[in-house]
A = this chain, B = another copy of it.
Amino acid sequence: MSFEVIFFPCEKSIVVEEGANLLLTALEAGVHINASCGGEGVCGKCRVIIEEGEVEGGRSEKLSEEEFEKGYRQACLCRVKSDLHVRIPAESTLEASSLNLQIAPRRKARIQEMNLDELKERGLFFPPVEKKYLKIPPPSLEDNVSDVTRVIRELKFNHNEHRLDVDLSVIRKVPRVLREGDFKVTVTLARPVRDENKTRIINVQANDRTSRNYALAFDVGTTTIYGQLIDLLDGNVLAQYGEYNAQLSHGEDVISRIAYAEKPGGLAKMHELVVGTINTIIERLMLRAKIDLEDISSITLAGNTTMTHLLLAIDPSNIRRAPYVPVSTLYPPIRAVDLGLAVGEYVTALVYPVISSYVGGDIVSGVMGSGLYRAEELTLFIDIGTNGEIVVGNKDWMACAACSAGPAFEGGGIQHGMRATKGAIEDFSLDPITLEPMNITIGNVRPKGICGSGLIIIVATLFEAGVIDQRGKFNPDLKSERIRKKDDQYEFVLSRAEETQIGRDLVITEADIDNLIRAKGAMYAGYMTLLEEVGLEITDIQRIMLAGGFGSYIDLERAITIGLLPEIDPEKIIFVGNGSLMGAKMSSLTNRIRKDVSDVVKKMTNFELSETKSFMDHYVASLFLPHTDINLFPRLKKRLEARNETYQHAISI
């Protein structure tokens, strides 16, 4: 028997068989519901309200008795039993549009952008793909060499091009194109990374098209995929576009993606989804920049190790199991159409190498794009996230490590945590007397939750105000309606039900704070252990580079306050933005990067931290605000001492 299911507020409907899983039904209808755990019923994010009709199941400890009676269900645990009206609550929806909004930078790290002029000055601006316009004499009985020989001869004698290989796709096109263009044609040459190799003729087009030569660069993220369209004549970015990775519907983190890929047909599906998202972005970029697909000559992609495996349809299953072995860290150049990428068959996809299972191509790309690999200063390069990555070194040596910080920075494990999209509290201040908060949200709308960068500010503020102590526990002596005890734990009410989009009080709990402390503790223990492994102290670090989406939003001083970043002059902290995308772009612009990257990969020493005793010691010591050893944070120590006097005073009033 089949039933009609209508989803609200989007009003999309679909007909399914009795017993269909409601989360999969929504997926099939094109309705997005968050599902952090990949459908295993443990995250509780996929709650929906059954407004009409009957379902079977859908109850777990994630739903209160009250919620259950109001019709809340976990979509992933429900089966369809009749025609249904299903409402998706506001907190379960994603707003992709906000990814593409320009969010004004705040008091953050200085931004380091790729220095194209420097590249040009140093003579390093030689794109791997170049076009040449040829006027070729037509064949005659006296001179009837083959079409391809004719093209090569012209390149050799009039353009000083030697040692050329020709792709079969060019051979197939060349007779038609030569005659269409009356023997005036544009050839696309792909330069070798190493001089001893040959230049390949990868495309041939009628007439003069030398002014149109473009590259694509991609950062393939677990959550978001960003693409850039680059003009290879001047290195300018003509368009940029970001889109959620379509794999999100099957889990939010790499572990759930790997789990999905291990199911029958799962790897192919994951591959298809990520390629689909990339193709959507390619289409948008071309529309936005108004260019022909035919003029795209190269594509470079960087992603973490799991994303890279899934993109290339390589089995990622050993990444998540000890001893955490990726299949490959280096990838050959691949014909892009073989991956399903919607570009010309002559386009080669260049995929950034990775270092290990948890230090991926996004980090390698960041190291290249940020220029760390040729820096003089001893630099700590950090990508903060669920999977945090750390690189330390300079042009002479490099070491790296990964640490699993957990999902707190992305709002995971936080009762009202959410991604940094519209409605997320991203800034916060507190009246130290009344404890009344000021919430600033992304998009200036009623709050829906707390994003990672907001969480850091809230916790740092509560800590500096003495509302919570070094262990993250609420001060029970404070009397305020904002602070209350529920289910045996304290929480702070940031926003009352009626002020929110979610119709419930928006709170931060001791458990939330504890999760953040664990996350920042893992990062900090990571730096400390890695530095120890290479025989350095935190004070030896001359510069910090923050990479990745999260780094761009954090308030440096507050991040230091909670002990997420070591105490260093904020002037020495540089934000490199999407280092992964930057590195992919640079590879599109100069073969020098493609040559250097293999040296960088060889040079980089990978340390497995999580399994070492040293890491555990550092981790335990880091589970305080900012750290067990407050002397590691001398500036903060002074402020806290000053505060204690003030508050002592305030509280005593």
Contact = CB atoms under 8 A, between A and B. Distances in A.
Interface residues of A, number: 44
A608 B142 CA distance: 9
B144 A314 contact: no
A168 B312 contact: yes
A607 to B, nearest CB: 11
Interface in A284-339: 312-315, 317-318, 322-332, 334, 338
Contacts of A331: 168, 171
Contact of A328 (B139, B174, B197): B174
A146 interface: yes
A502 B171 CA distance: 47
Given A139-B323, A141-B611, A323-B141, A312 B171 contact: yes
Interface in A125-150: 139-141, 143-149
A146 B327 CA distance: 5
A638 interface: no
A313 B172 contact: yes
B315 A172 contact: yes
Contacts of A143: 323
Contacts of A315: 172, 175-176
Contacts of A328: 146-149, 166, 171, 174
Nearest to A329: B146
A326 B147 contact: yes
A266 to B, nearest CB: 15
B325 A146 contact: yes
Nearest to A612: B141
B327 A148 contact: yes
A340 to B, nearest CB: 13
A566 B561 CA distance: 99
Contacts of A144: 323-325, 356-357, 608
A469 interface: no
A288 B165 CA distance: 38
Interface in A552-595: none
A95 interface: no
A167 interface: yes
A147 B332 contact: no
A94 to B, nearest CB: 32
A171 B353 CA distance: 13
Contact of A147 (B145, B146, B166, B327): B327
B171 A139 contact: no
Copies of this chain, complex-wide, total: 2
Nearest to A351: B168
B608 A168 contact: no
Contacts of A317: 175
Interface in A355-372: 356-357
A600 to B, nearest CB: 16
Contacts of A141: 322-324, 608, 611
A69 interface: no
A488 interface: no
Contact of A196 (B171, B196, B325, B326): B196
A199 to B, nearest CB: 13
Nearest to A142: B323
Interface string A477-518: 000000000000000000000000000000000000000000
Contacts of A326: 146-147
Interface in A144-187: 144-149, 165-168, 171-172, 174-176
A322 B141 CA distance: 7
Contacts of A166: 328, 330, 332
Given A196-B196, A313-B172, A315-B172, A140 B323 contact: yes
Contacts of A608: 141, 144
A314 B140 contact: no
A166, A332, A334, A611 pick with most chain B CB within 10 angstroms: A332
A145 B176 contact: no
A206 to B, nearest CB: 15
Contacts of A323: 139-141, 143-144
Nearest to A326: B146
A312 to B, nearest CB: 6
A187 to B, nearest CB: 14
A224 to B, nearest CB: 25
A322, A325, A356 pick with most chain B CB within 10 angstroms: A325
A144 B611 CA distance: 13
A167 B147 CA distance: 31
21 contacts: A139-B323, A144-B324, A144-B356, A144-B608, A145-B329, A146-B326, A146-B327, A147-B326, A147-B327, A147-B328, A148-B327, A165-B332, A166-B332, A168-B332, A171-B312, A171-B314, A171-B328, A172-B313, A172-B327, A174-B327, A175-B315
Give the top 5 A-B pairs by smallest Cβ distance, nearest first.
Answer: A148-B328, A144-B323, A141-B323, A146-B326, A171-B328
Given A146-B325, A148-B330, A171-B331, 9 more contacts: A141-B608, A146-B329, A147-B328, A166-B332, A167-B332, A171-B312, A174-B328, A175-B317, A197-B197
